[in-house]
Chain A
Amino acid sequence: MTTDLQTDPGPRAPGSPAALEVRGLVKHYPGVKALDGVDLVVRQHEVLGLAGENGAGKSTLLKALVGLVRPDAGEIWVRGEKVRLRSIMDAADHGIGMVFQEQSLVPNLTAAENIVLGSEGPGVRRGVYRWRTMRALAQEQLDKIGSHIDPLARTDTLSFADRQMVEIAKVLRIEERTSHPPVIILDEPTSVLESKEIDTLFTQVRRLREFASVVFVSHRLDEVLDVCDRVAVLRGGQSVGEVPAEGAAPAELHRMMIGSTGADDHYHDSAAERSDEPRRPRLEVRGLSGKTFRDVDLDVHAGEIVGIVGVHGSGREDVCRALFGAEPTTAGEVVLDGKKLELSGTRAACAAGVGYVPAERKTEGMVGPMSVADNMTLTKQQARCSGPVVRPRKQASLVDGWIERLSIRTPHRGTAIQRLSGGNQQKVVLARWLVAGDVRLLLLDHPTRGLDIGARSEVYRLMRELANSGVATVLLADSLEEAIGMSDRIIVMSDGRATKEVAAPAGGKPTPLDLVKEMV
C-alpha cells in the first residue's frame, strides 16, 4: 500500500472513472467468511441493485463502503482514486453516504436538527444553535428531494416513510463535503413501507440518479428490477455476476442468488385437503376489545393458518399481542381447546401453549448477545432441565437437533445469536416454540420481515409443517401475496374491527385486489 493516492490507469474504466469500485474485498469473522473477494463497480449516475440471500455478504459489503467495517484485504476506489475508509466521516468526505435499514435518526429531535446533526456548519455559531439558519439548511436539503416535511416537526411524530425521507435529506449533506456527485447507499429501504410509499421512494431514487449514484439493496427482486439500471448479485461472499435490469426476470436473479433454480411452490400449498367435519375450533375469540381494536371475533382450527390483513392502524398487531397477554384488553373472552385463556401476561400464555413471534426480531424476538442455545431454550426451560436443574448435555443435544433439523447456519450452538444472518435468527426464534413440542397456537407477527427469498421459503415450509402437525396459526403477513399464499382463511381488519372473512383454500385463492377492496 505504498501508493495511497494514485490515479486509476483505467483499463476497466474507459471514459469517466467509476463512481465507486470495489476490488477483491475480503472480510473474515470467526467461523464465517463474510466477504470472499467481492468485485463491484458503481458507475456515475446509475442505480445499481445489490441482490443476495441473507448471509451473502451484502451487509458487510455496505458497512465496508461506509467505513464501519475494515476489510482484511482488497481495495476500494472512488472516482479512480484508491481510498481507505476508517469511519462514516471518512466515507462522507469521499462522497459516500448510507441510509440505514434500521433508521438512525434521534427520535426526540426535530427533522431539521437531525438533518444537520454531526455537520452543523453555519447552523451553530460560537457553540450556539442558530435555529433560523439550521432550519434553512434543512429546508434546502428537503427541497433537493422535493419533500414537504415540516423541518420543525419532531422526528418521532413523523411516519416511517417521512423519516426515511429525512434520512435521505440528511445523507445528501455529504454533497457539501465533496465536489463530485455522491454515492448514496439505500439498505433495504422498502422493507417496512406500504406500496404507495414505495412508489414515492422510487420516484425519489430516480431523482437522486440525476445528481448522484445510488446503490439499492432489497430482498424484493421485482423492486430491484423495477428501480435499478443494473443488478449485481452476491452469493456466499462472492460476486457471482450482474445483469442489466432491462428485460431481466426475477426468476433469473433468484437463480443466480441461490445458485440453482428454486422450487416454484413458494408457499408450499397444503396438499392435504382438510375434512370439513364440524369440530370445535382450537382458538375461539369472542368480542375481544382493547385500546386499538373492538369486538373482534376469531376462530382458528387446529392445523389451520388464518391470516389477518389490514392497513396500518387496523389494530391487527395489537390483537395478536393481546392474545399473547402482552397488550391489555378491556373486554372479551378467549378459549383455547375448550379452556378459558387468561390474558394476564406472557408467561400464562406460554404455559397455555401459545407462541408468539414478534415483528421486531432484533429488539423483541431475540436476546442478541445470548447464545443460539440459550435463545432457543429461553421460553421452554423445562425442555433442558430435569426438575429445576439445567442439564447442559440435554440442552446441547436438543439444540443441535433443531439446528440440524431447521438447517440453521451457525458456527456453534454457543455463538451469540446476533452474529447470525436474519433468516437463521428467525429460525432460532421459531424453534423456541417447538423445543417443548407443546405449542398449540402460534401467533406470527411478520415472521418473514427482512428475510430474503431463500429464508422466507424455509420459514413458509416450517409454518406449513407445523400446521400439518396440528398447530393453529395466526399470521400477520408481510405482504398480501404472502397472506394469500399461506393462509387457509383470511380475516380483514379495518379500524380495529374484523370486517370480513375470505376463504383461501388451495386452488381457490382470492386475488390481492379482492382483499384490498375490503381493507379500505
Chain B
Amino acid sequence: MSTPVLAQPAPDAPVVHRPTVGQRLTSFMPVIALVVLLAALTIADPGFLTLSSLTAAVRTAAPLIVLAAGATVVVLCGGIDLSIAALCSLATVFFALWLPDLGGATTLAIIAATGAIGALQGVVHVLLRIPSFIVTLGGMSIFAAIALVISDAGPIPLSDRDSTKWLTLYVAGVLPMAFVVALVLVAVVSLVLKLTPLESWVRATGYSESAARLGGAPVDLVKIGAFTLSGACAGLAAVMLVSRNFSGSPTMADNLLLPAVAAIVVGGTAITGGHGSLWRSLAGALVVTLLRVGLPIVGVPSAYEQILYGAIIVAAVALTLDRSKVLIIK
C-alpha cells in the first residue's frame, strides 16, 4: 500500500452550503412570534407596553421557563415528562415542611431530591423499558397523591420568608431575580449541551434511538440524565413558586403542565424528538405567559380567553415548527 487508493480528489467542487433566507427565518420564528404577539397586545391596548407589566410578565414566566427547559431535554431525547407539574407541587410542600429543619440549605435539598426522583423515573423508563409517557403519567398521579397526604390537603405557610427572599429581589432594579435565574439555567444547560458531546448524543437518541445505540452513544445514561435534569428543574421551579406565595401547596403547580408542554411546542421543538432547543422553549414560555397575562389586560372577556389562547397556540406552532427537520408530524 504505497499509494493510498482512496485519495482521489472529489469529482465535484463542493458547493458551499448556506442556509436560505427561509431557513434562517424559520429558526428565528419563536422570537418573531413573541415580538408579533407583543406588538398585537400593544396595539389592542397601548397601555400594555409598560415596564411594570413587562416586569410582572417575566416574573410570572420564570417558573414556567424552568419547568419547560427541563422537560425540553427529555423531549429532545424523544420522550416526554408529564410529571413535572405534580413533582413541582410536591416539592413546594416538601419545601414548607423541611424549611424549619434545614433552613438555608432547603433550596439545594429540594433540587437534589426532585433530581433524584426524576432519575428514578428515568431508570424505570430505561431498565423496565416502559414508555416515558406511561412512567411519568404514573409519576404524576403518585406525586400528586403524596403531596395531598403529607400536606393534609391544604397549603402550608412558610416558617420564615428570608430563605427565599433573594428570589424576589430585582437585578438592576427592574429584572426579577427569578427570571434571571431561569435565564442563567437555560444558558448554562444550552452551553453544556453545545460544548460537549452531549448534544450529539441527545439529538441522536431523539432522532433514532437504535442508530444512536449502535453508534455507541450512551443512550440509557443520556435518557436518565435528561429525566434527572427535568426533575431538578421541577424542584427549582417549586422554590420560585414558594418564594412568591410564601407557602407550599399540594396543587400549586398543577396548572403549569399544559402551559409547559405548550411552551415547548410553541418554541418549535419537535415533540417527536431530536429537533429543538432550550432557547426555543424560553421564547415559547414567554409567548404562553404573555397570552395568559396579556389577554385579560387588553380586555378580552374571560369566556373568550381560552378560545383565543388555544387558537394562538396552534397558530404559533404552525409558524415555528421547522417541518424540513421533522419528517413525521404526529
Q: Which chain A residues have a beta carbon within 8 Å of chain B's beta carbons? A: 30-32, 268, 272, 324, 326, 346-347, 349-351, 356, 358, 363-370, 374-375, 377-379, 381, 385, 388-390, 403-412, 414-415, 432, 458, 461-462, 464-465, 468-469
Contact = CB atoms under 8 A, between A and B. Distances in A.
A415 B9 CA distance: 19
B1 A370 contact: no
A31 to B, nearest CB: 4
B177 interface: no
B127 interface: no
B173 interface: no
Interface in B213-248: 213-218
Contacts of B210: 363-364
A411 B14 CA distance: 5
Interface stretch (B90-98, B106-114, B155-163, B194-202): B194-202
B11 interface: yes
B65 interface: no
Interface stretch (B15-23, B29-37, B39-47, B292-300): B15-23
Given A377-B200, A415-B17, A462 B6 contact: yes
B141 interface: no
Contacts of A326: 213-214
A409 B216 contact: no
B212 interface: yes
A366 B10 contact: no
A379 B216 contact: yes
A324 B210 CA distance: 13
B200 A465 contact: no
B330 interface: no
Interface footprint category on B: 35 or more
A455 to B, nearest CB: 13
A462 B327 CA distance: 32
Given A378-B217, A407-B11, A465-B6, 13 more contacts: A272-B1, A347-B216, A347-B217, A365-B214, A367-B204, A385-B197, A390-B194, A403-B10, A405-B7, A412-B14, A414-B17, A415-B17, A461-B6
B226 to A, nearest CB: 17
B48 interface: no
A210 to B, nearest CB: 38
A88 to B, nearest CB: 17
B17 A412 contact: yes
Contacts of A349: 216
Nearest to A384: B197
A346 B208 contact: no
Contact of A347 (B204, B218, B327): B218
Nearest to B213: A346
B211 interface: yes
B190 to A, nearest CB: 13
B275 A381 contact: no
A268 B4 CA distance: 13
Contacts of B7: 405
Given A366-B211, A368-B208, A374 B6 contact: no
What are the 8 tightest A-B residue pairs by CB atom distance, in nearest-first order? A412-B17, A350-B216, A381-B197, A31-B15, A379-B216, A378-B215, A407-B10, A411-B15
Contacts of B327: 368-369
23 contacts: A366-B211, A367-B207, A367-B211, A369-B207, A369-B274, A375-B215, A378-B216, A379-B216, A381-B200, A385-B196, A390-B195, A390-B200, A405-B4, A405-B7, A407-B9, A408-B10, A409-B11, A409-B12, A411-B14, A411-B17, A412-B17, A432-B215, A462-B6
B19 to A, nearest CB: 9
Given A381-B200, A412-B15, A407 B214 contact: no
B197 A390 contact: yes
Nearest to A432: B215
A404 B10 contact: yes
B17 A346 contact: no
A285 to B, nearest CB: 20
Contact of B204 (A378, A385, A390): A378
A389 B325 CA distance: 26
A372 to B, nearest CB: 10
B5 interface: yes
B211 A365 contact: yes
B200 A378 contact: yes
Nearest to B20: A30
Contacts of B15: 31-32, 411-412
B196 A390 contact: yes
Nearest to B215: A378
B211 A364 contact: yes
Contacts of B9: 404, 407
B215 A367 contact: yes
A409 B5 contact: no
A77 to B, nearest CB: 31
Nearest to A418: B327
A500 to B, nearest CB: 29
A286 B11 CA distance: 46
B8 interface: yes
B203 interface: yes
Nearest to A350: B216
Nearest to A416: B325
Contacts of B214: 324, 326, 346, 356, 358, 364-365
A389 B211 CA distance: 23
A298 B163 CA distance: 66
Residue in A349, A367, A375, A432 with the greatest tally of chain B CB atoms within 10 Å: A367
Contacts of B204: 367, 370, 374, 378
Nearest to B212: A367
Q: Tell me which of A324, A368, A390, A408 has the highest count of chain B C-beta atoms within 10 A of its own C-beta.
A: A390
Interface in B169-206: 194-197, 200, 203-204
B175 to A, nearest CB: 30
B217 to A, nearest CB: 6
Nearest to B8: A407
Contact of B196 (A363, A389, A405, A414): A389
B4 A465 contact: yes
Contacts of B8: 407
A432 B15 CA distance: 23
Contacts of A381: 197, 200
A358 B210 CA distance: 10
A97 to B, nearest CB: 23
Contacts of A388: 196-197
A389 B216 contact: no
Contacts of A366: 208, 211
A405 B7 CA distance: 5
B144 to A, nearest CB: 35
A346 B216 contact: yes
A351 B9 CA distance: 32
B18 to A, nearest CB: 9
B325 A369 contact: yes
A377 B194 CA distance: 14
A260 to B, nearest CB: 12
Contacts of B207: 367-370
A197 B14 CA distance: 41
Nearest to B194: A390
A134 B9 CA distance: 57
A405 B6 contact: yes
Contacts of B11: 407, 409
B1 A378 contact: no
Interface in B243-263: none
A451 B325 CA distance: 25
Given A390-B195, A469-B1, A379 B6 contact: no
A368 B328 CA distance: 13
